[in-house]
A and B are shown apart, each in its own frame.
Chain A
Amino acid sequence: MQIVIDHLVKTYEGGIRALDGVQMQIGDGVFGLLGPNGSGKTTLMRIIATLLEPTSGAVSIDGNDVRRRQSDVRKLLGYLPQEFGLYPSLTAWEFLDYMALLYNVEDTRQRERIVNESLERTNLTHLRDRKVGTFSGGMKQRLGIAQAILNSPKLLIVDEPTSGLDPEERIRIRSLLAELGGDRVIILSTHIVADIEAVADSIGVLHLGKVKFQGTHEELLRSIAGKTWQIEVEREELRQIKEKLQITGVFRSIGGVEIRVVAASSELGGSLPHIRARQVEPTLEDAYIHLMGGSAVG
C-alpha cells in the first residue's frame, strides 16, 4: 500500500494555516508522525481519514483520492482519533457490534466473529460484558483501537494513542501497535518520541504545518552522529549553558545536574571550554529536539 500526500494545504477559517504544502510518501509498516502540539498532525490525520477537506493539494491511498473516493477510502481504513468518546451505557461487545454495523457487516455471525477477534487482539475479551462507561483511560484507548481494526484495515491511523496514559498502559498500547503493524500501514501520530522509537519503522516530522524530516530512525540519528554529549554541571550554570547550547535532556545527578546537548565538538569547546563533556550515543529524542531547534521542548 502506498499513501501519497501531494502539496497538501489546509487553511482554517481566520487564516490559520495548519498544513503548508505537505509532501510525503508512506509505505507499508508503522509510520510515526512526530511533531509538537499544533504542528498540524491531527489535521493531516483527519484529512487522510476523509473527515476534513484540504484547501488544496491531494492525498491518495492506493490510487484512491481521499476527496473523490471517500467511500472506498473508508473501507480501507481504521481510525482512532485523538479525542474520542464511547457510548458509556453499551458494553464493550455491544459497542464493537455497533461499530461493525458501520462497517457494513450485516451478517450477525460474521459480526460476532470479527468483534470477538478484535476483543482478543486488544486483550479486552475478559471485559466484553462490562459497560464502557466504567473503563479506565487505557481500556478505552484499547477499545478505540479494537473498533479501528474491526475491518482488518489496510491503513490504520492512530492519533496520539498514548497521550494521558500511565506507563504500563502506554507500553501495552505500543506493543499492540507493534503487533498490528505487520502487514498494513499504520500511521501513528504523536508528540511523544518514545512511542515512535518503540514502534515506528519510518518517521515524518511536522512543524508549523511543514515537513521538517521524512526518513528512517537511522537517517534521523545520523544527522546528529558524533554531536551528542552528556555534561555534568552545577545548577547555577544551567541558565548560562542554555543560552549557548541546545539542551536535549536534563537529569538529576549526585553532584548537581547532568545535561545532554547536541553540538559539534568545536562548538562545545568554544562555548564551554572548562567543562568536561562525555560523548554519548544519540537518541531519537536528541535528534528530534535538535531538528525542531529546541521548540519541541518549549
Chain B
Amino acid sequence: MADRDRAVPGDVPGKPHSPRTQSSTLDFVPAGGAVWGIARHEFSMGSRSPVFWAALAVCGTLVFRECLPDGTTASLAAYRIDKWSAMILSFITLFWMASVASRDTWIHTEDILFAKPQTTEVLVLGRFLGNLGLMLAILVDEIIVGAFAHIAFAGTPPVVLAYYHAFWRGALPVFVMASVGYSFSLIFATPVAGMVAAVYYLAVLGGRDYISRIFNFSLTQNAPIFLPLAVALLAVSLIVYKRDRRTRCAPLSLSLVILAGAFLSVRSAVGIAGTSHDEPMFRNPMLEAMGSQSLQPDMRCPGFTLPNQKGRWTGLRDFPGDMFVIGLWSPEAPVSVQVLDTLKQIDEMFGNQGVRSIGICIGEEHSTARDFGSENGDRFPMLTDIGARASIDLQQSSPLAMAFGVAYLPKLVITDRQRIVRFITNSVASEAVIPQVEALVKGIPVQP
C-alpha cells in the first residue's frame, strides 16, 4: 500500500513521479499517530465548548436524580444510567457529531484543511474518534454520578462489574448515533441530514409497542446488526465525502449509497428476525407454543426453553425430578428485581436438596439477565425471555408472560418435583416464600 511522505521544513518532496509519493483516490492506510493526534486536538477543542459542559451537567443531573435509591441495587442503578444514556445522550451525540461534521463548512476551514497532504481518511477518522471520545466521557460522567448517588444514598456497596456493563451497554447507542450523525452530515454537507436519525429514533422509542425491536439500535442484541452498519455508514460517508469534496472524481451517486444502505438494513432485519421472536417482523413457532399454555394452580407448570446467562438454551426438562422456584422479573419494574435475592437465598439453602431457582427476565434488552446475574454472583439459571417486547399491558409483552398470566411483576411460582404448580405469589419477601419451599421439600402440602 502507499507510503506516506513527511513534509517538514527542509524535507519537502520535490521529486515528481517518485514511487514514494504515488497517490491514490482511496488510500485506506490511516496513519496511527496522526489519527490520535487529530483525535486529541478534537477532544481538547470540544472539551472547551460550553455546550459540552452543559451536556455533561444535564446528563449528570438526570442520572443523579434517577439513581437516588428507592430500593435500588447497584445493577438497577447501572441499568437506569443506560436508559438515560439511550434516551438523552444518544440525541446529544447525534447533534454534536452532526455539528462537528459540518463545522468546517460553517467556519470556512475547509480550504485550509483540504489543501494539506494528509489523507481524508485520517482527518475524518481522527475527528470522529476525538468527538466520540467526548461523548463517551459524558457517559463515564453519568456512570460516576450514578455510582456516587447509589453509594452515598443507598448505602450498599458498589458493584464495579455493574458499571462496567453499563458503560458498554450505554456506549452502543452513543456509537451508532455518533456514526449516523457524523456520516449523514458529511455526505449531505448539512447537520440537518444528521437529524434524520433523531426522527427515526424518536419513532422507535415512541412506537415500541408497534415497531419491531430490531429497529432499536440501543438494544445490545441488535449490536451485531447495527455496529457493522454504523461502521459501514462511516466508510460510505468517507468515500462520498472524499470524492465529492477533495478529488477529481465525479461525485458518487447518492442513490447508490441509499440503495446499499437499504439493502443492508433489510438484510439486517431478516437476520435478526430469524433469531428472535419479534412480532411485527416474525413469529417464532416455539414461542407461539409457549404462549398457548396457561399457568393454573395444581396443574402442570407451563414449559419453556430460553437462553441462560451463558447463552445455552435451558428449560425445565433439563432438570428432571427437581422442584422449581421460578421468578419472573424485569428491570422496568424495580421492585421485581428484589426477587433475585429471594431466588439466590433459596438456591443457597435448598440447591443441594433438588430445588432449582430459575430467574426469567421479561424485558426488551437481552443482556439484562446475563448482566444482573453476573453482577450479583447468581449461580442459578437466569433466563432471558427473548419474546419480550415493550407493552403497557404486561400480559401482552411476551408469549411467556401470557402463559404465566403476568399482570404484575415479580411473579414467583413454586412447583413440586412433578412440575405441578403448588404456590404462586407476587411477593418479593423471602419470608413469604421460604416456608413454602421448606414445606414442599418435606412433602407437606401448601396452599397455592
Is the pairing of A and B real?
yes
- Give A residues with C-beta under 8 Å from B: 46, 49-51, 53, 62-64, 67-72, 74-81, 83-90, 94, 97-99, 101-107, 110, 113-114, 117, 144, 147, 150-154
Chain A residues, CB < 8 A from B247:
70
Pair B9/A101 contact, Cβ less than 8 Å: no
- Quick one: which of B3-62 are within 8 Å of A by CB? 4-10, 12-14, 16-17, 21, 23, 27, 31, 33-34, 37-38, 41, 44-45, 48-49
Q: Which residue from B21, B33, B109, B111 sits with its C-beta under 8 Å from A75? A: B21
Chain A residues, CB < 8 A from B114:
50-51
Rounded to whole angstroms, the CA-CA distance of A111 and B48 in the bound complex is: 23
Contact with A along B336-352 (1 / 0, CB 8 A): 00000000000000000
Rounded to whole angstroms, the CA-CA distance of A121 and B45 in the bound complex is: 25
Rounded to whole angstroms, the CA-CA distance of A113 and B37 in the bound complex is: 16
CB distance from A250 to the nearest CB of B (A): 35
Pair B44/A105 contact, Cβ less than 8 Å: no
Pair B14/A62 contact, Cβ less than 8 Å: yes
Chain B residues, CB < 8 A from A69:
16, 23
Q: Check A151/B5 contact, CB under 8 A, given A63-B17, A99-B116, A106-B37.
A: no
Pair B49/A106 contact, Cβ less than 8 Å: no
Pair A67/B248 contact, Cβ less than 8 Å: yes
Q: Check A75/B12 contact, CB under 8 A, given A70-B23, A84-B108, A104-B117.
A: yes
CB distance from B400 to the nearest CB of A (A): 53
Pair A151/B111 contact, Cβ less than 8 Å: no
Pair A63/B16 contact, Cβ less than 8 Å: yes
Rounded to whole angstroms, the CA-CA distance of A151 and B118 in the bound complex is: 12
Minimal Cβ-Cβ distance residue in A for B13: A75
Main secondary structure of the interface of B (DSSP, over half): loop
Q: Check A87/B8 contact, CB under 8 A, given A71-B23, A102-B116.
A: no
CB distance from B383 to the nearest CB of A (A): 50
Interface membership of B258, Cβ < 8 A = no
Pair B248/A75 contact, Cβ less than 8 Å: no
Pair A102/B113 contact, Cβ less than 8 Å: yes
Rounded to whole angstroms, the CA-CA distance of A59 and B408 in the bound complex is: 76
Rounded to whole angstroms, the CA-CA distance of A86 and B4 in the bound complex is: 26
Minimal Cβ-Cβ distance residue in A for B32: A106
- Per the CB 8 Å criterion, the residue count for chain B at the interface is 42
Instruction: Show 6 A/B contacts (Cβ-Cβ < 8 Å), sorted by A.
Output: A49-B111, A81-B108, A89-B48, A98-B37, A101-B41, A106-B6
Rounded to whole angstroms, the CA-CA distance of A97 and B248 in the bound complex is: 28
Chain A residues, CB < 8 A from B8:
103, 105, 110, 114, 151-152
Cross-chain pair count, CB within 8 angstroms: 137
Q: Which residue from B4, B9, B37, B248 sits with its C-beta under 8 Å from A117? A: B9
Rounded to whole angstroms, the CA-CA distance of A154 and B13 in the bound complex is: 9
Interface membership of B259, Cβ < 8 A = no
Pair B4/A104 contact, Cβ less than 8 Å: yes
Q: Check A144/B112 contact, CB under 8 A, given A76-B14, A104-B34, A104-B118.
A: yes
Interface membership of B444, Cβ < 8 A = no
Interface membership of B257, Cβ < 8 A = no
CB distance from B29 to the nearest CB of A (A): 12
Interface membership of B392, Cβ < 8 A = no
Pair A81/B111 contact, Cβ less than 8 Å: yes
Q: Which residue from B6, B21, B45, B108 sits with its C-beta under 8 Å from A71? A: B21
CB distance from B131 to the nearest CB of A (A): 13
Rounded to whole angstroms, the CA-CA distance of A90 and B41 in the bound complex is: 8
Minimal Cβ-Cβ distance residue in A for B35: A101
- Quick one: which of B79-129 are within 8 Å of A by CB? 106-109, 111-118, 123, 126
CB distance from A78 to the nearest CB of B (A): 8
Rounded to whole angstroms, the CA-CA distance of A84 and B105 in the bound complex is: 10
Pair B9/A51 contact, Cβ less than 8 Å: no
CB distance from A72 to the nearest CB of B (A): 5
Minimal Cβ-Cβ distance residue in B for A157: B115
Which 9 residue pairs are nearest across A and B when measured between Cβ atoms?
A71-B23, A85-B107, A106-B33, A102-B116, A79-B115, A74-B117, A102-B118, A81-B111, A152-B9
Q: Which residue from A50, A63, A86, A94 sits with its C-beta under 8 Å from B115? A: A50
Chain A residues, CB < 8 A from B113:
102
